[in-house]
Amino acid sequence: MSAGLKTLTSLYPVGEIVFFRSVFALIPLLIWLSWQGDLINAIRTDNIPGHFLRGLIGTSGMYLGFAALAYLPLHDTIAIGYASPLIVVILAALLLKEKVRAYRWTAVGIGFVGVLIMLSPYLRLNPLSGGGQSLGAFFALVGAFCSAGATIQVRRLTMTERTGAIVFYFFILASGLSLLTLPLGWKPPPLSDLLFFVLVGTLGGIGQILLTQSYRYADTSILAPFEYTTMIWALLLGWFVFGDLPTAAVMIGAAIVAGTGLFIVWRERRLGLERAKELETAAQRPGG
């Protein structure tokens, strides 16, 4: 999806891209809900304010992420976005009261060092003074904060809302908010580009469904590190499609961030096995 979006950002305004991405993402969602046979009930909700907050934060992150793709290579944009899972761990502890132990806090701290290394080629006190790439890096970093905030709000919504409702109202709100940019000069896409918009939106819709479903089965801070696997695809697509190769700073920083993410996953799995063993031992005791 991101590779397709990078191609489109050179041709169309960001607001128009957000609109088509969101509208066409409804295609896989409605097919999935119809296949489940519960379309009407799936989109029922009693928490419109919660959906609006998620939509506002998520759409802001989408705008910033798409804008970053217009200025930066694909893999750099993806790599800087890796700050989001680290921010999610912090927000999950502060807002969701998830228990984050010392090992994970240490990993988050090391991860932010990796993020700073990735940002080092673009760091400027004034992003506007460093040219387009510095501005793109700024967009990507602020977008990562928005993405983390949206993740936390999704986690909250999954406690009471169905997956279909969460995804449906997000795409509806994103489409509506993007229409506000219509006066800024949209371009009617030819059929070939329209089909490309359909492809990008469909991929985005499928990804959103799977991501939202995943929050029902594991803590946010455990799921977040799996986002690091996107770097593999970003490197391959950036190389073969756009002819871009990452800088040493981006590779080193991304390796540090991904390494801390994998450590978090390994550490939490080990603690989970230890807790399960303790519960099993306690149950086997007399009167347990």
Letter string b/e over residues 28-43, b meaning 16 or more CB atoms within 10 A of that residue's CB: bbbebbeeeeeeeebb
Q: What's the whole-model pTM score?
A: 0.78
Q: Residues 118, 79: contact at Cβ < 8 Å?
A: yes
Range of the domain at 150: 2-284
Question: Domain total for the chain?
Answer: 1
List pLDDT tens digits, range 153-209: 988 888 888 878 888 899 899 999 999 999 888 999 999 999 999 999 999 889 888
Alpha-carbon gap, residue 69 to 84, rounded angstroms: 16
List pLDDT tens digits, range 112-166: 898 888 888 777 656 555 567 888 888 999 999 999 999 899 888 888 888 788 8
